């Protein structure tokens, strides 16, 4: 029986979505099924491995009792308002009940929709596999994200700069509603639609605020707090989203859309990877500011719901927005202190944390290697393991002496640090290496090996030692692409 049995989005105003049928594929093959995710959900894999399941996930069959839709939304892309975007290459199949609540299942790369704007609606297999790798890496790090449920190779050729193999990703999410969804409702449909959308989000995802005196103000506060925590987690993993447009900001605080995203190697606060982010709008250090900018666009759509008096509505919105940066700072520095093994919450520790980042940047130290090595030094290894990362050992020794004075002095310090300092991240050169093997050599083994390691990134084994190492100069990835 098809487990995708719900479709809560059909309760929204009709203009928020359009019925849309995926385009059939020539010779679909189930390349990857995320058995571990299905186990988390408490859902059997039987249907997904069946002919019926493959037919639905590849677009070659339709569940007439719960037909797919494409969702409408707008957005600010690199600061420029775009009044209509929508799912141009994605189809929402509906929701699947799980042990943790219902989750969306959406197909990406499943063909043209009413929102395709001239595109073919397809995805390359490489881009689909990239999202699979990175979403699994985020989950392994404990960072909220959409998840890859299945990867289907379509048997079709997708034409980009050159002919490429086609793929479809079946991904799950708590919700696919974005800030851009509210912008579309406000611009195109009016206050009643915004209220219907807000009520839907509260009912489905934040029922605890339904009884609040001003639930819409609490919705703004709740969304802001979840985004603040999420961005802090991104940054301390060295993650750069790459396209933090309002249409890529999930209303439930999940990382969504893994196009030109990347994890930093050597620390650089101004680092940006996306080939289309030519001015560094979404660089590592700018992500909190962009998060607040996006949240402000969300607040603008809610103003009519916050109060019938426009001045009062603005004051309420400003009050809620004012909590974002303190929430981010608390999450960021609280977690950074954990990564450094510090327990004291004093201003001195905040200054020391800032000094640590400045030192890493000044000496171009690999972020993951630094914290991994520091964790080992907090345990049984000698200081030399950290000092040898630096060309200027004197500066490193001065920092290390101060760290020894500030760090928590108990037997469990290294163990606590290991819980937040990964050994392995989805390094760009390893991701590209795995994608080349999968799409050029038809060899999935490197990709599966990398993905398995990323699901347990805090655990070192001799078998994954090569996945820890930063890239050689000739292996360095300097720009990432949407690749869709």
**Nearest to residue 367, comparing CAs of 477, 266, 469?**
266
For residues 30 and 170, the answer to whether their CB atoms sit within 8 Å is no
**What single string gives the DSSP state of each residue in 343-403?**
---SHHHHHHHHHHHHHHHHTT-BHHHHHHHHHHHHHTS-THHHHTT-S-HHHHHHHHHHH
Helix axes 215-236, 324-340, angle to 10 degrees: 30
Token look-up 């959308």 returns 197
**Nearest to residue 74, comparing CAs of 330, 305, 245?**
245
Backbone phi and psi for residue 171, each to the nearest 5 degrees, phi listed first: -120, 155
Beta-ladder partners of 366: 266
Cα 20 to chain center, whole Å?
26
Compute the distance between CA of residue 314 and CA of residue 151 in angstroms, rounded to an integer.
Answer: 45
**What single string gives the DSSP state of each residue in 420-440?**
TS-S----HHHHHHHHHHHHT
The 10 Å Cβ neighbour count of residue 78 is: 15
**What single string gives the DSSP state of each residue in 234-278?**
HHHTTEE-S---GGG-BTTS-B---SS-EE-SB--TT---BTT-T
Count of all residues that appear for the chain in the document? 484
Q: Which residue of the set 104, 120, 247, 372 is catalytic?
A: 247
409: number of CA atoms within 13 Å, CB side?
Answer: 4
The 10 Å Cβ neighbour count of residue 465 is: 11
Structural element, H or E, at residue 339: helix 324-340
Compute the distance between CA of residue 453 and CA of residue 461 in angstroms, rounded to an integer.
Answer: 9
Residue 161 designated active-site:
no
Any residues with CB less than 8 A from the CB of 388 and at least 6 apart, and which? Answer: none
Beta-ladder partners of 32: 151
Beta-ladder partners of 262: 240
Residues annotated as catalytic are 247
């Amino acid at each position: 029986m098809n487990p995708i049995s719900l479709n809560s989005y059909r309760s929204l105003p009709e203009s928020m979505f359009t019925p849309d049928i995926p385009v059939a594929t020539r010779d679909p093959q189930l390349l990857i099924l995320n058995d571990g995710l299905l186990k988390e959900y408490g859902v059997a894999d039987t249907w997904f491995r069946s002919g019926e399941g493959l037919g639905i996930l590849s677009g070659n069959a339709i569940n007439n009792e719960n037909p797919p839709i494409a969702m409408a939304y707008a957005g600010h892309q690199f600061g420029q308002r775009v009044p209509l975007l929508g799912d141009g290459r994605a189809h929402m199949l509906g929701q699947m009940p799980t042990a943790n609540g219902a989750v969306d299942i959406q197909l990406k790369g499943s063909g043209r929709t009413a929102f395709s704007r001239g595109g073919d609606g397809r995805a390359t297999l490489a881009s689909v596999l990239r999202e699979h790798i990175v979403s699994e890496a985020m989950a392994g790090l404990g960072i909220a994200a959409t998840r890859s449920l299945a990867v289907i190779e379509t048997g079709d050729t997708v034409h980009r700069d050159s002919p490429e193999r086609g793929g479809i990703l079946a991904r799950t999410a708590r919700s696919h509603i974005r800030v851009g969804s509210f912008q579309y409702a406000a611009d195109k449909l009016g206050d009643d639609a915004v209220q219907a959308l807000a009520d839907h989000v509260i009912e489905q995802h934040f029922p605890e605020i339904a009884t609040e005196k001003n639930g819409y103000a609490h919705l703004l506060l709740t969304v802001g707090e979840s985004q603040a925590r999420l961005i802090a987690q991104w940054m301390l993993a060295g993650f750069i989203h790459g396209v933090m447009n309002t249409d890529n900001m999930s209303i439930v605080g999940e990382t969504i859309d893994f196009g030109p995203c990347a994890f930093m190697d050597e620390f650089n606060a101004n680092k940006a990877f996306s080939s289309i982010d030519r001015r560094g709008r979404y660089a590592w250090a700018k992500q909190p500011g962009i998060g607040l900018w996006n949240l402000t666009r969300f607040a603008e759509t809610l103003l009519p719901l916050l109060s019938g008096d426009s001045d009062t509505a603005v004051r309420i919105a400003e009050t809620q927005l004012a909590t974002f940066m303190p929430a981010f700072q608390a999450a960021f520095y609280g977690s950074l202190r954990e990564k450094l093994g510090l327990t004291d919450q004093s201003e001195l520790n905040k200054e020391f944390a800032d000094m640590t980042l400045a030192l890493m940047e000044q000496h171009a130290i690999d972020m993951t290697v630094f914290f991994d090595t520091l964790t080992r030094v907090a345990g049984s290894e000698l200081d030399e393991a950290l000092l040898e990362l630096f060309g200027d050992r004197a500066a490193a020794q001065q920092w290390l002496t101060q760290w020894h004075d500030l760090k928590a002095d108990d037997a469990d310090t290294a163990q606590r640090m290991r819980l937040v300092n990964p050994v392995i991240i989805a390094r760009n050169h390893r991701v590209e290496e795995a994608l080349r093997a999968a799409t050029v050599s038809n060899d999935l083994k490197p990709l599966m090996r990398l993905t398995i390691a990323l699901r347990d990134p805090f655990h070192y084994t001799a078998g994954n030692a090569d996945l820890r190492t930063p890239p050689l100069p000739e292996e360095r990835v300097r720009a990432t692409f949407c690749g869709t």
